[in-house]
Amino acid sequence: MIGAEATWTALRRWLLVVAGVAGLVGFLLEYGTYGAARLADWLALLRGLAVGGFLLEGALAALTIRPWRDFLVNRWPLLVLAGLLLCELAVVTAGGEQWLGPFLHFFSIRTAAQDYVVLLQLFIVGNLLASLPRVSSRVAGRRVRPMVLFLVAFALAILVGGGLLTLPRAAPPGAQARFLDATFTSTSAVCVTGLAVRDTGTQWTRFGQWTILLLIQLGGLGIMSVTAALALLLGRGLGLREGSLLREIFQIDFVEQVGRNMRFIALFTAATELLGAALLFIGFRQAVPEPATRAFTALFHSVSAFCNAGFSTFPDNLCSFTANPLVYLTVATLLIVGGIGFPVAANVLAFARGRALAQPGGHPRRLTVQTRVVLRVTGLLLGLGTLLLALLEWNGAFAGQSALAKLGMAFFQAATPRTAGFNTVDIARLSDASLLLQIVLMFIGASSASTGGGIKVTTLAVIWANLRAIATGHPQARLHDREISQQVGRQATFVFLANLFVGTVGTFLLLLTDGKPALASAYEVYSALGTVGLSVNLTPSLSDAGKLIIILVMFFGRVGPLAVAYGIVRPTRERGVRLPASRIMIG
């Protein structure tokens, strides 16, 4: 009986894989190429495989899953899709393309008869992605380190994204992207950097922009967290091995907390990005009058800001909105919220809710040490950066603006180097002192378990605590009346030195390959290393060798230090035998 159940389960999974691959290939052929009309027969076959495989899997699930209540709860998308099919029939028979036209135009769907098939294809592809945690767990069962799997997942996402962006329809006719430029853009999107060799608004079509947007979301939240959230959303659930894998990757205390953490990440991200998109939709009303285009532009910038990516569809980024506080304050808030990290956001929300519901004399939930460190260091960097940039550029790059606009520009340019990449002033106009200050801010970056990069503010705090302990003669580093373990101290030191080494070597190599000014080269490299995306207009003119260097630096900046720290710096047991001590002169 158990063997038969396993066979049916395996058959259902293979049906989903076939349906997902057929739906994905069909979708890419139809919307990624300009010659889809010549492939009508093949597209019909792929649609048939996708829809037929999905419905057959659903039928098998209905026969094997008991009770029916569980089937209906876990397979609610089937009911939604059935309702969409009925709506489709009503639209086709009643001539409802007039009221459905704006919706179809927004998603670049040419006829009303295609909307059901497109939604079904996307849903089937989502099911395929939702099965990835199980594939990852089977790989992990072969004793592959989670961080190795983490690196491979990011590399595969970059290559797939580069392949999508090389499709003819990703760029305007006659301007198809080279694979190197497409891979550079994909790396920048997955690593949420924002450096671009092609103008996002004009040199990529809507298909290309949607691809970049999805890559940003995938890279900002992390491949594993996105697939896990999909599995939970689509009723697939997470098994014990998948939960254990995610627990180790995201450093969660208990397996039971994995599902709750994934749900919080998904819901918090969706709520924040939708709220940001709504505000930006209002803020862009003069710059983008057409509602459908404005809705996409607002969503694109909201996702890009929350994920700290820095991609913009405007040719001058956000320089045209220096007098529009609704736009630049919304973007700044999104990038700060995305940069403080999901654990900190969850702790702050729980703390606020506890204070609001606390009874007189009760003990509401307290902020954790990590939350207090992140909030204090973030506030310090924002305040100090704003003050210094205002002093440095008051009569320089900010000249000609009102005092309030200058303060707003200083605040924004102090916030955005912490891995966001948006700019409200031409970076090439900043003084050398301001560029050096931004390099420092880019090197520090955002918080751990966030959408941002850099060495992280917690790393800076731990290093400061170690230095303070050495200077005061304390045997153990402390933060907020808590001791910092030696393992955490070693990880912080390693991440700091590894980033500094990669930044130095990357700058040296870029000077050799492109021969640009030293400060501009260093700015570009540290922008890539911190996954920031700010540029002194150097990236579009890089040689192929220079682009490869920046690609490698972006990849390391996103996943390298964390993976190496958790993969190499591990707890060790005290040895029974100790070697003789030796004196070495210091200083």
Higher-pLDDT residue of 131 and 527 is 527
3-state secondary structure of 369: helix
Mean pLDDT of the chain: 78
**Between 45 and 191, where is the model more confident?**
191
pLDDT digits (tens, 9 = 90+) for 466-523: 888 888 888 888 887 788 888 888 888 888 998 999 999 999 999 999 999 999 999 9
Residue 361 has pLDDT above 90, yes or no: no
Position 343 pLDDT exceeds 70:
yes
Residue pLDDT, tens place only, 204-255? 999 899 999 989 988 877 655 555 554 444 444 555 455 555 555 555 554 4
Kindly report whether the peptide bond that precedes residue 67 is cis, defined as omega within 30 degrees of 0: yes
Q: What percent of the chain has pLDDT over 70?
A: 68
In tens, the pLDDT along 26-63 reads: 777 777 777 666 677 777 777 777 767 777 777 777 66
Q: What value does the mean pLDDT take over residues 436-462?
A: 88
For tokens 């829809």, what's the residue? 51
Per-residue pLDDT at 115 exceeds 70: no
* Residue 138 token pair: 């089977």
Predicted pLDDT of residue 85: 56
Residue 296 binned pLDDT confidence (cut-offs 50, 70, 90): very high
Average pLDDT of span 389-410? 90
From 306-315, 348-357, 485-494, the region with the lowest mean pLDDT: 348-357
Secondary structure of 203-267 in HEC code, one letter for each residue: CCCHHHHHHHHHHHHHHHHCHHHHHHHHHHHCCCCCCHHHHHHHHHHCCCCCCHHHHHHHHHHHH
Distance CA 90, CA 83 (A): 11
State the Cα–Cα distance between residues 236 and 460, nearest whole angstrom: 40
CA distance 264 to 398: 40
Listed by start position, the domains of the chain span 1-130, 366-568
Q: Which residue has the higher pLDDT, 13 or 524?
A: 524
Q: 34-41 long-range CB contacts below 8 Å, 24 or more apart?
A: 34/168, 34/169, 34/173
Contact of 531 with 193, CB cutoff 8 Å = yes
The more confidently predicted of residues 355 and 454 is 454
Q: Which of residues 264 and 140 earns the better pLDDT score?
A: 264
pLDDT at 224: 53
| Per-residue pLDDT, 125 | 55
Better pLDDT: 497 or 364: 497
Query: Can you give the pLDDT at residue 142?
Result: 54
Poorest-confidence range of 48-62, 130-144, 262-276, 513-527?
130-144
pLDDT of amino acid 45? 78
Q: How confident is the model at residue 111 (pLDDT cuts 50, 70, 90)?
A: very low
- What's residue 246's pLDDT? 55
Taking 80 as the threshold, does the pLDDT of residue 459 lie above it? yes
Q: Highest mean pLDDT: which of 446-455, 532-541, 560-569?
A: 532-541
pLDDT classification of 583: cutoffs 50, 70, 90: low
d(CA 219, CA 216): 5
For the residues 3-20, what does the mean pLDDT come to?
Answer: 70
Task: Check pLDDT > 90 for residue 88.
Answer: no
Query: Which candidate, 425, 348, 363, 336, places its Cα nearest to that of 389?
Result: 425
CB 264 within 8 A of CB 250: no
